[in-house]
């Protein structure tokens, strides 16, 4: 996919585009600590008729580094993406999100439901699923919440800024684990994320995704019980350790129509199994509309 910078009233964002630029649009949102580059593998296997658009979210990739934590509330990040979509003169679209991008995708789907034709999310909790969240919390409590250590670390004022700067290689590489070391996740992908994390202020802006969670929580508590009206697909990497299986409980109560597909992969399912993820998306999308 090719990259370009787009300026909108909310800021300056880098986007990747590929596929048929006249085709039906698919907005693809990455998570942390990645960038839009995470969709490169999937893009090679998606239906050639689709117009692929993958923005770098605020504070990551090569998009604007904003130091105001409030800007990283996931509803605010959703508004960033809506402005990008509007600037590209896109009306309706398919929407895909992994990790934090999956949360932002959900916020978009609730913000402008008539414009989101179909929704795909991967390895992330559903923000309206209060019952599943409670069960997941009990499961994580049995693990003393150890899988969340990096979130608590980044929430501490100034700690990420002091300790990650100059150590971006070690920091980013850690999260891809064995599958980063053995090449399951391409070395060039990890190198790209390290490069972007070394951009000035990224330890702070990356941490802001977690520092904003207290503000997010108040918003999400008000969303409990809301139903996503569009046909949706959840793709889950079963080797995941942070998003536990209990997070998937009660999904049928949160969607008008939900299909769940499981792949033998870890958290970065779209990078570990790009062909399989693309095939699931191709089968799910109504590309002829």
Q: Which residues of 189-224 are buried (b: 16+ CB within 10 A; e: fewer)?
A: bbebbbbbbbbeebbbbbbbbbbbbebbeeebeebe
pLDDT at 158 over 80: yes
Q: pLDDT-derived band of residue 94, with 50, 70 and 90 as boundaries?
A: very high
Mean pLDDT of 36-59: 98
Q: Is the pTM of this model over 0.95?
A: yes
45 falls within a domain: yes
pLDDT value of residue 279: 97
Percentage of residues in the chain with pLDDT exceeding 70? 99
Residue 20 makes CB contacts below 8 A (sequence gap 6+) with 48, 49, 50, 51
Is 13 within a domain?
Answer: yes
Angle at alpha carbon of residue 79, lines to 26 and 91, rounded to 5°: 40
> Which structural domain range is residue 89 located in?
2-284
| Tally of CA atoms within 13 A in the half-sphere of 51 that contains its CB | 12
Q: For residue 159, is it within any domain? A: yes
pLDDT single digits (tens) 280-289: 999 999 854 4
Query: 126-145, pLDDT tens digit by residue?
Result: 999 999 999 999 999 998 89
What tokens were used for 77?
């990040």
Q: If you search the block for the tokens 């199994």, which residue do you land on?
A: 273
For residue 11, give Cα distances in angstroms to 81, 84, 133, 201, 216. Answer: 11, 10, 33, 16, 21
Beta partners for residue 255, in sequence order: 228
The predicted structure's pLDDT at residue 286:
83
Please enumerate in sequence order all residues whose Cβ is within 8 A of that of 204, keeping only pairs 6 or more positions apart, or say none.
65, 67, 160, 161
Q: Contact at 8 Å (CB) between 55 and 64?
A: no
Average pLDDT, the chain: 96
What is the total count of domains within the chain?
1
Region 3-24 average pLDDT: 97
Instruction: List b or e across 19-44, with b for residues whose CB sees 16 or more CB atoms inside 10 angstroms.
Output: beeeebbbbbbbbbbbbbbbbbbbbe
Over its C-alpha atoms, the chain yields an Rg (Å, rounded) of 18
* Span 199-254, pLDDT tens digits: 999 999 999 999 999 999 999 999 998 999 999 999 999 999 999 999 999 999 99
DSSP codes, 169-209: HHHHHHTTHHHHHSSSS-HHHHHHHHHHHTSTTHHHHHHHH
Rounded CA gap, 99 and 123, in Å?
Answer: 6
Q: Quick check: 124 and 100 in contact, CB under 8 A?
A: yes
Q: Find the length of the chain.
A: 289
Quote the pLDDT of residue 50: 97
Backbone angles phi, psi at 32, to 5 degrees: -105, 140
| Residue 28 belongs to domain with CATH number | 3.40.50.1820
In a domain, 199, yes or no: yes
Q: Is residue 289 a part of any domain in this protein?
A: no
Is residue 72 domain-resident?
yes
């Amino acid at each position: 996919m090719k990259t370009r910078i787009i300026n909108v009233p909310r800021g300056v964002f880098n986007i990747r585009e590929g596929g048929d630029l006249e085709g039906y649009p698919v907005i693809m949102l990455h998570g942390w600590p990645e960038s839009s580059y995470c969709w490169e593998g999937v893009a090679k296997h998606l239906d050639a008729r689709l117009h692929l658009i993958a923005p770098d979210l605020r504070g990551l990739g090569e998009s604007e580094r904003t130091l105001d934590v409030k800007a990283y509330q996931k509803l605010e990040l959703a508004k960033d993406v809506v402005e990008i979509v509007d600037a590209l003169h896109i009306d309706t679209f398919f929407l895909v999100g992994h990790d934090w991008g999956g949360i932002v995708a959900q916020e978009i789907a609730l913000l402008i439901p008539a414009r989101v034709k179909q929704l795909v999310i991967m390895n992330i909790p559903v923000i309206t699923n209060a019952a599943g969240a409670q069960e997941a919390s009990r499961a994580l409590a049995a693990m003393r919440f150890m899988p969340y250590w990096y979130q608590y670390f980044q929430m501490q004022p100034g700690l990420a800024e002091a300790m990650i700067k100059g150590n971006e290689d070690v920091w980013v590489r850690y999260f891809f684990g064995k599958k980063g070391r053995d090449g399951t996740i391409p070395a060039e992908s990890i190198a790209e994320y390290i490069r972007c994390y070394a951009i000035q202020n990224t330890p702070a802006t990356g941490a802001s995704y977690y520092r904003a969670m207290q503000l997010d929580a108040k918003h999400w508590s008000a969303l409990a019980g809301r139903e996503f009206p569009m046909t949706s697909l959840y793709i889950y990497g079963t080797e995941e350790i942070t998003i536990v299986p209990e997070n998937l409980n009660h999904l049928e109560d949160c969607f008008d129509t939900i299909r769940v597909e499981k792949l033998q992969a870890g958290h970065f399912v779209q990078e570990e199994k790009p062909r399989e993820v693309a095939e699931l998306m191709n089968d799910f999308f109504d590309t002829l509309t």
